[in-house]
Amino acid sequence: MPPRLETIRVYYQPGQDPNFRFVTQLPKGKNTKKRELLFRNDHFDGFMLHYRLDHPSFGDLKFPNDPQRALSSAVMTGLENECPTTGVWPQFTPVSVTDDNRTLVVRNCNGDLQPGQTEVRFGYALFVTDDPDYGELTRLDPIGTNMNGPRS
């Protein structure tokens, strides 16, 4: 079965902590302050996620042209881990930037768990800018939890 398609609307809240909020059908995790999302496959081959920036709240801010500059991700090994500012975890990778740089497409493989594991917590950051080629990046810093469900 192909990956499960999910759209995550992202709203910008400058000056607040966190500086964004998500609107999605995905379930939320325990860490509501960091906007944690739970990923369960439900017989799909992972996820294809579409992070869509709300135009009015983001104004001129967009995702960079290079999807590698628009996302960083890493497994979190403890509660105090910080989300990464660089690098990409192979299970959660940027695919493309579309829709006039207002949508970032991300592949979440949500792969098999190690024996005895029930979940994998990971941190990731989305980055937006006013210059998609060379601009300074503004960081949005959520958390995810892969809770691998059975695949068909």
Per-position DSSP letters for 125-142, written without gaps between them: EEEEBSSTTTPPPEEE--
What gap in Å lies between CA 120 and CA 146, rounded to an integer? 5
Q: Could you tell me the two tokens for 106?
A: 């991300």
CB 50 within 8 A of CB 103: yes
Nearest to 131 by CA among 105, 101, 99: 101
Per-residue pLDDT at 32: 57
- pLDDT higher than threshold 80 for residue 143: no
What gap in Å lies between CA 125 and CA 138, rounded to an integer? 10
Residue 135's Cβ-count burial label (10 Å; 0-12, 13-18, 19+) is middle
Among 32-36, 65-69, 109-113, 118-122, the least confident range: 32-36
Confidence of residue 152 (pLDDT cuts 50, 70, 90): very low
- The model's pLDDT over 77-114, given as tens digits with 9 standing for 90+, comes to 766 666 788 899 999 999 999 999 999 999 999 888 78
DSSP state of 45: S
Confidence of residue 150 (pLDDT cuts 50, 70, 90): very low
- The model's pLDDT over 38-81, given as tens digits with 9 standing for 90+, comes to 898 888 899 999 999 999 999 999 999 999 999 999 988 766 66
What gap in Å lies between CA 147 and CA 152, rounded to an integer? 16
State the pairing for strand pair 47-53/4-12. Answer: parallel
Per-residue pLDDT at 70: 97
> Residue type at 39?
F
Residue with tokens 């294809």: 48
Per-residue pLDDT at 23: 93
Per-residue pLDDT at 111: 82
Beta carbons within 8 Å of 75's beta carbon, 6+ residues apart? 89, 120, 121, 122
Per-residue pLDDT at 49: 97
All domains of the chain in start order, with CATH: 4-146 (2.60.40)
Q: pTM here?
A: 0.90
Beta carbons within 8 Å of 27's beta carbon, 6+ residues apart? 37, 38, 40
- pLDDT higher than threshold 80 for residue 123: yes
